[in-house]
């Protein structure tokens, strides 16, 4: 499946800087890079960046560089446009240079860590596909939706929870803040360990940083935590067990 790329440009008289965003087939951002191009000079060969529009990126052999590189074959009025490494506009005749960060080199606009960025991008995009790339000014792309909004997830009704929940330990603040999202009246303490306890309509629950939950009845509360909160809990070392008798998406 083809991936998609967007090149958000900022124009200057001496150069064109930009941010290249790479999304996979599901629209998930997989990487972002700084870019450097020639200034816009009416698409003149060797002195101008390529025109804005929707083009396609593919792997192909470059006789000049004698290796496989990423190329744009369908750019209006241009040929031999590649995505490759470089530092300043002196390193390109119209191709797109990619790097990991931008800055100033010898008093001119530049990008850095370019070779590793170009190699990473080459390996990141699946071969044998034509990947669409949208090239436009940054302020224009900022107003364009990248993907349609995902449908809202409707959660099942949740039994009203009593205002009882306590978190403690070195991560008490993190656990307590998360608890407040789904348990009203949460308080935190500085007790030893890292733990979160509370009471739900289905019974008591108690989660700890060392691994498992205490009882089967507590598993019901996990079904009331949004995925983003589950990820945050996992980020501080809490092992989360999925609710039983529920199928995975």
pLDDT grade, residue 206 (50/70/90)?
A: low
Nearest C-alpha neighbor of 57 from the set 118, 113, 115, 128? 128
Model confidence pLDDT, tens digit, residues 47-70: 999 999 999 999 999 988 899 999
244 against 32, higher pLDDT: 32
Joined together, the tokens standing for residue 204 give 């008591």
CA pair distance 129, 46, nearest whole angstrom: 27
Query: Would the pLDDT of 72 be above 70?
Result: yes
Look up the pTM and report it.
0.59
pLDDT grade, residue 200 (50/70/90)?
A: very low
- Indicate the average pLDDT of the chain: 73
Range of lowest pLDDT (36-50, 178-192, 234-248): 234-248
pLDDT at 52: 97
Range of lowest pLDDT (137-141, 218-222, 226-230, 238-242): 238-242
pLDDT grade, residue 151 (50/70/90)?
A: very low
Alpha helices in 32-133 (DSSP H): 114-124
CA pair distance 175, 165, nearest whole angstrom: 10
Query: Would the pLDDT of 233 be above 80?
Result: no
pLDDT at 196: 54
pLDDT grade, residue 197 (50/70/90)?
A: low
pLDDT at 144: 74
CA angle 124, 92, 15 (to 5 degrees): 100
pLDDT grade, residue 208 (50/70/90)?
A: very low
**% of the chain residues with pLDDT over 90:** 53
Which residue reads 């031999």 in tokens? 80
pLDDT at 73: 84
CA pair distance 75, 206, nearest whole angstrom: 60
Nearest C-alpha neighbor of 57 from the set 42, 44, 72, 38? 72
Model confidence pLDDT, tens digit, residues 11-21: 999 999 999 99
235-246: b (≥16 Cβ within 10 Å) or e: eeebeeeeeeee
pLDDT grade, residue 143 (50/70/90)?
A: confident
């Amino acid at each position: 499946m083809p991936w998609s790329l967007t090149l958000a440009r900022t124009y200057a008289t001496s150069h064109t800087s930009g941010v290249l965003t790479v999304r996979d087939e599901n629209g998930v951002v997989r990487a972002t890079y700084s870019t450097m191009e020639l200034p816009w000079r009416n698409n003149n060969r060797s002195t101008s960046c390529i025109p804005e529009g929707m083009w396609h990126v593919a792997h192909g052999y470059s006789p000049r560089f004698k290796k496989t590189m990423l190329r744009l074959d369908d750019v209006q009025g241009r040929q031999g446009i590649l995505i490759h490494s470089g530092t300043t506009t002196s390193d390109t005749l119209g191709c797109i240079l990619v790097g990991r960060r931008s800055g100033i080199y010898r008093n001119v606009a530049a990008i850095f860590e370019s070779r590793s960025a170009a190699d990473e991008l080459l390996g990141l995009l699946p071969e044998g596909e034509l990947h669409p790339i949208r090239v436009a000014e940054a302020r224009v792309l900022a107003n364009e939706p990248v993907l349609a909004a995902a449908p809202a997830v409707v959660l099942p009704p949740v039994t009203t929870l009593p205002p009882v929940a306590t978190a403690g330990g070195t991560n008490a603040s993190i656990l307590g803040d998360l608890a407040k999202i789904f348990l009203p009246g949460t308080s935190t303490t500085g007790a030893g360990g890292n733990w979160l306890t509370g009471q739900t309509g289905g019974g008591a629950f108690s989660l700890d940083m060392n691994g498992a939950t205490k009882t089967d009845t507590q598993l019901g509360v996990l079904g009331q935590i949004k995925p983003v909160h589950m990820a945050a809990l996992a980020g501080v070392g809490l092992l989360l067990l999925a609710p039983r008798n529920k199928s995975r998406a």
